[in-house]
Amino acid sequence: MVTSVTSLGRNGLYDWLIQRVSAVVIAVYVIGMVGYLICNSDLDYATWSAFMGSVPMRIANTLMLFSVAAHTWIGLWSVTTDYLTSLTFGKAATSVRLVGQMAIALLLLVYILWGLLTIWGGA
Amino acid sequence: MKVSIYRYNPDTDREPTMKEYEVDTQGKDLMVLDILALVKEQDESLAYRRSCREGVCGSDGMNINGKNGLACITPLSEVAPGVKEGKKPLVLRPLPGLPVIRDLVVDMGVFYEQYEKVQPYLQNDQPAPAIERLQTPEDRAKLDGLYECILCACCSTSCPSFWWNPEKFLGPAALLQSYRFLADSRDNATEERLSRLDDPFSLFRCHGIMNCVSVCPKGLNPTRAIGHIRSMLLERGV
């Protein structure tokens, strides 16, 4: 048993499940969005704004936002724990990894707040 | 034919080098281990492990032209096109990711430590029956493809997740053995075994790239075993 306080679910199974579920949400969203854009090739601002401003799309966008953030965190957390280790950075590894993970977490937090403001700000 | 072999003696060499040898195979499709024996006749300072020379002991796992395998059961014709004919050199390196003791001999310590962590022995707290714990043929069949592992380390040392986190990720060989006891109807320590695999590293660092499957000299499938353990964890946790 390896303990880790910085993984999202602090448990391998949770992280694995969140990664899969968020991947499904992202895939469904992207396919749906591509389908919408193909079906509405003569899209104008008013239609796009009304579409994105509808409650179902706001919920879908919020879901997408959190899915991307969770998916990114789990993925990049794996990358940092694979490559920012003592094998590459020696004794400085823990500091380098912590700074890297904090930078990623801060960026994702900003994206989430900014995204929520964009999605729900005009509501 | 040309043979290029990784040479390194930590006591005398500053860094590893690749040394070239010329070996006469007389056109025969020799095993890689036979080539090493011919090289050893020329240069007795070459160090490598070998024992049974028939793919049972798992001593001579090494990296052969970029792919891990057992030298004793890998014929030149299977290494890469052109190697047997002498058009391409045979390139031998130690198993990747483990500390080199000398030449092709690696320190397997961390590999065995991970094997020890999965407690690879039958655990059953029920009173032992008079004769033996019986299994149905169906239950016994579940162990096929699991018990045959010879611990040569070809799989774990071909796995990038094991290279980066050899002390945290158990590696395909240990996980295959973990499932060998999880799948055994006579073992009743399932809960304890699963609870030790639930963290983000021990098992879940496997990303299913299947290098382990492609190199296993016994044709075993650790990725499938890992998938079975993941399903057991999912059933237990959801």
**Do B93 and B27 share a domain, yes or no?**
yes
**Do B85 and B134 share a domain, yes or no?**
no
Chain A residues touching B205 at Cβ < 8 A:
78
Q: Which of B164, B202, B203 sits opposite A82 (nearest CB)?
A: B164
Band of pLDDT at residue A2, cut at 50, 70 and 90: confident
**Do B47 and B73 share a domain, yes or no?**
yes
d(CA A98, CA A104): 10
Q: What is the CATH number of the domain that holds B82?
A: 3.10.20.30
Q: Does A7 touch chain B (CB under 8 A)?
A: yes
- Residue A1: closest C-alpha in chain B: B196
Q: What is the CATH number of the domain that holds B225?
A: 1.10.1060.10
Kindly tell me the number of DSSP H helices and DSSP E strands found in chain B. 9, 7
- Residue B194: closest C-alpha in chain A: A1
Band of pLDDT at residue B220, cut at 50, 70 and 90: very high
Range of the domain at A68: 12-120
Answer yes or no: do A12 and B198 touch at CB < 8 A: yes
Q: What percent of chain B is modeled with pLDDT above 90?
A: 97
ipTM for the complex shown: 0.85
Last residue in a domain, options B81, B105, B129: B105
Range of the domain at B36: 2-105
| Mean of per-residue pLDDT scores for chain B | 96
For residue B188, the one-letter residue type is N
Residue A123 has pLDDT above 60, yes or no: no
**Do B69 and B120 share a domain, yes or no?**
no
Chain B residues touching A13 at Cβ < 8 A:
198, 204, 230, 233-234, 237
Answer yes or no: do A13 and B164 touch at CB < 8 A: no
Q: Which of A4, A17, A83 sits opposite B200 (nearest CB)?
A: A4
Instruction: Kindly report, residue by residue over B135-159, the tens digit of the pLDDT.
Output: 999 999 999 999 999 999 999 999 9
Tell me which residue of B237, B185, B218, B216 sits closest to B203, measured CA to CA: B237
d(CA B95, CA B156): 9
- pLDDT at position B29: 95
Report chain A's terminal Cα–Cα distance, integer Å. 47
Q: Does B119 touch chain A (CB under 8 A)?
A: no
Q: Does A86 touch chain B (CB under 8 A)?
A: no
Q: Does A83 touch chain B (CB under 8 A)?
A: yes
Q: Does A39 touch chain B (CB under 8 A)?
A: no
**Do B20 and B128 share a domain, yes or no?**
no
- A6 assigned to some structural domain: no
Distance from CA of B229 to the nearest CA of A (A): 11
For the segment A40-57, the average pLDDT, to the nearest whole number, is: 92
Can you give the pTM of this predicted structure?
0.91
**Do B65 and B180 share a domain, yes or no?**
no
**Do B152 and B54 share a domain, yes or no?**
no
Q: Which residues of B172-200 are buried (b: 16+ CB within 10 A; e: fewer)?
A: bbbbbbbbbbbbbebbebeeebbebbbbb
Q: Does B199 touch chain A (CB under 8 A)?
A: yes
Helix locations, A40-92, DSSP H: 45-53, 55-83, 86-89
**Do B168 and B186 share a domain, yes or no?**
yes
Cα angle B224, A71, A109 (rounded to 5 degrees) comes to 155
Last residue in a domain, options B105, B131, B160: B105
Q: What is the CATH number of the domain that holds A80?
A: 1.20.1300.10
Instruction: Kindly report, residue by residue over B58-116, the tens digit of the pLDDT.
Output: 999 999 999 999 999 999 999 999 999 989 999 999 999 999 999 999 999 999 999 99
| Sheet-wide strand order for B67-70 | B17-22, B2-7, B90-93, B61-64, B67-70
Q: Does B201 touch chain A (CB under 8 A)?
A: yes
Instruction: Kindly report, residue by residue over A22-47, the tens digit of the pLDDT.
Output: 999 999 999 999 999 999 988 999 99
| Mean of per-residue pLDDT scores for chain A | 92
Domains in chain A, number: 1
d(CA B21, CA B90): 10
**Do B99 and B112 share a domain, yes or no?**
no
Cβ contacts below 8 Å, chain A against chain B, sum to: 54
Q: Does A114 touch chain B (CB under 8 A)?
A: no
- A1 assigned to some structural domain: no
Domains in chain B, number: 2
**Do B51 and B168 share a domain, yes or no?**
no
**Do B119 and B101 share a domain, yes or no?**
no
- Residue A77: closest C-alpha in chain B: B200
Chain B residues touching A1 at Cβ < 8 A:
195-199, 202
Tell me which residue of B202, B172, B164 sits closest to A81, measured CA to CA: B164
Last residue in a domain, options B53, B86, B105: B105
